[in-house]
Amino acid sequence: MNDFDDAALDDPQILAEADDSLRFLAGAGARIRLEAQILGKPDFEAGRRPRGVIIVGQEARLVRAVLEPCCPVPFVAWPFAGLPAWVGALDLVVVLASRDGSDAALVSATYEAARRGAALLVATPEDSPVWAAAEGTSTLRVPTATGDPLAAAIALMSVLHEVELGPDVVPSDTAEVADMVAEESSPYRDLSTNAAKDLALGLADALPLVWGGSVLAARASRRVAEALRRATGLAALAVGSEELLPVIEATGPRDPFADPTEHQASLRPVLLVLNDMGDSPEMAVERQTLLETAQAHDVRICALDAGQGSDVDRYVALLQKGLYGAAYLRIGSRRGGTPGQQI
């Protein structure tokens, strides 16, 4: 990894070269609104409640994390090919298709669900192979247009609320949260007033240890760690506190005479904490233990705050803040690519 150049974060020419990546992140709110605008009205049989719900495809685990605590029936995110043997006419299969709806495994799962007579709720671009595979009298197809799996998942969750299978998800509110993060993280804000640029500076030349206490914060932490790995080409770990504590505790004292050119050997861990207002009291204790241990071992601490709002609002706030930090980390380390578009 090259030396981190903090001056690059406020250099108009360098920022212009990274415009595609930053513009994609800034457009998250617009994509969420667009997907919500083209929703179909749920037309499942009135009062019908499935025996169980199984969801496949991109962002399936996010949807499960939001719905599982309040869904009145069993809710399963299925990461494997095909469908479980128990899925049948009494169940609902939810399909979150890939960007172009051509994933062969999802097409096969959709055909199989229709063949078994299960109700289908499919989010996919119109005229895609998955769209065609979802033909049936018990199918609701939600057209998607942006190619953004997160935006499509938020739209889909609002539909699941309409059929009384999940909490109230308001895409317009979530879009406002994404817009707020974009404004706070704008490249036109200099380092002194830009939390995302400051986060990049805090994570520079370090090995990030990313922790989120709640289920959704933990999900966001894994996405942020993915982006940080792409931004730096170095390791970034997102796991529970029981795995992070040994790493922190094994960190030795800082060596003021360490050779700064030996990057990989001299990199120290940095603890990045994703604070979610939805944390339980147990998670608060876990967080405090992590913070105290990091301080005792001279491990730098960075934090992202979810703020207020629904579960989905807080998740998007944490995710977008982390992705902006990764984007600026990539810019400061002068690496090419667009990490945000790959999430």
**Domain final residue pick, 135, 170, 205:** 170
Judgement on whether residues 35 and 11 belong to the same structural domain of the protein? no
Q: Is residue 320 part of a domain?
A: yes
Instruction: Reply yes or no on whether the pLDDT at 322 is more than 60.
Output: yes
Contact 19, 336 (CB under 8 A): no
Tens-digit pLDDT profile for residues 128-187: 898 888 887 678 888 888 889 999 999 999 989 888 899 999 999 999 999 999 999 999
Structural domain of residue 127, as residue ranges?
A: 31-170
Tens-digit pLDDT profile for residues 48-82: 789 999 999 989 999 999 998 899 999 999 988 88
Instruction: Reply yes or no on whether the pLDDT at 329 is more than 80.
Output: yes
User: What pLDDT, on the 0 to 100 scale, is given for residue 180?
Assistant: 97
Higher pLDDT residue, 231 or 256?
231
Judgement on whether residues 166 and 206 belong to the same structural domain of the protein? no
- If you ran DSSP here, which 8-state letter would residue 260 be given? T
**DSSP per-residue string spanning 51-119:** S-EEEEETTHHHHHHHHTTT-SS-EEE--SSS--TT--TTSEEEEE--TTS--HHHHHHHHHHHHHT-E
For 124, residues 6+ apart whose C-beta sits below 8 A from its C-beta are 95, 97, 101, 130, 131, 134, 141, 142, 143, 144
User: What pLDDT, on the 0 to 100 scale, is given for residue 343?
Assistant: 40
Handedness of CA 84, 86, 89, 92 (dihedral sign): negative
Integer Cα distance of 220 and 211 in angstroms: 9
**Domain final residue pick, 115, 138, 170:** 170
| Alpha-carbon distances, residue 105 vs 58, 78, 124, 158, 342 (angstroms) | 12, 12, 14, 25, 20
Average pLDDT on 86-100 reads 88
Q: Is residue 12 part of a domain?
A: yes
Number of domains the chain contains: 2
Judgement on whether residues 228 and 270 belong to the same structural domain of the protein? yes
Q: Is residue 55 part of a domain?
A: yes
User: What pLDDT, on the 0 to 100 scale, is given for residue 261?
Assistant: 54
Judgement on whether residues 88 and 231 belong to the same structural domain of the protein? no
Handedness of CA 184, 189, 190, 196 (dihedral sign): positive
User: What pLDDT, on the 0 to 100 scale, is given for residue 19?
Assistant: 86
pTM of the model: 0.90
CA dihedral 139, 129, 125, 337 (to 10 degrees): 140
Instruction: Reply yes or no on whether the pLDDT at 258 is more than 70.
Output: no
**Domain final residue pick, 116, 137, 170:** 170
